[in-house]
Amino acid sequence: MPVKVSIVEDLDEVREGLAELICSDKELLLDELYDNAETAAEKIPLRQPDIVIMDINLPGISGIDCIKKIRVICPGTQFMMFTVYENDEKVLQALQAGATGYLLKRTEPQRILESIKELNQGGSPMSSNIARKLLNIFLNEKKIIRKEVLSERENHVLQLLADGLLYKEIAERLNIVHGTVRQHIHNIYEKLHVQNRTEAVNKYFER
């Protein structure tokens, strides 16, 4: 059976262009077109399309809020954001709302068709720079998590280790005894799941 696709887009030329593109592919079936989120939120649950292509910036409620309303009623429907927005905040908000695909409006037509099919088959198609943004967000969160895993004193000790100081020098710098430095370092190794100074520094600072 063809994949049933609905479109929520307020710009006539974009909405009609997408509709024409979908109609050109025999594996896809154009369902309904909506120019606002309110109408979409009311009618999509009645029609249960496989895929909804959703703009973010719509008159009235946003595409992101529209997804939040629909996904609870339509667990089998998947949402593809189709937007000009590529900032971190919008990307994360859309994915948290329930979107499983994210394409920018400058995406090539053939890639749009491929992405719709990929989404229907369980994939999460995204424009390449959106995928890179998500990767960077993930890596930055990992760094934040690592810093939060260690106490303030352990963070300081590890920074001094990275600077090449010996245990004795760290003890003098922090005005603590040698044994306390050893205990801090033991705790650091355990928390970071490493065996030595080099591994700890490399893992912590992504070297």
Q: Where are the domains of the chain?
A: 3-135, 150-204
Low-confidence winner among 38-52, 156-170, 191-205 (lowest mean pLDDT): 191-205
CB-based contact 174:181 (threshold 8 Å)? yes
Tens-digit pLDDT profile for residues 61-93: 999 999 999 998 998 999 999 999 887 788 888
Tell me what the pLDDT averaged over the chain comes to: 88
Amino acid at 91: V
pLDDT given at position 201:
79
Place of tokens 């995204």: 126
Q: Name, of 142-146, 151-155, 198-202, the range with top average pLDDT.
A: 151-155
- Pick 3-135's CATH classification: 3.40.50.2300, 3.40.50.1980, 2.60.40.2300, 3.30.1360.170: 3.40.50.2300
DSSP assignment string, 117-141: HHHHTT---B-HHHHHHHHHHHHHH
| Confidence bin at 148 (pLDDT 50/70/90) | low
CB-based contact 94:58 (threshold 8 Å)? no
Same fold across 3-135 and 150-204: no
Residue 197 has pLDDT above 90, yes or no: no
pLDDT given at position 131:
74
Q: What's the CATH number for 150-204?
A: 1.10.10.10
pLDDT given at position 143:
57
**Residue 205 C-beta-side C-alpha neighbours within 13 Å:** 14
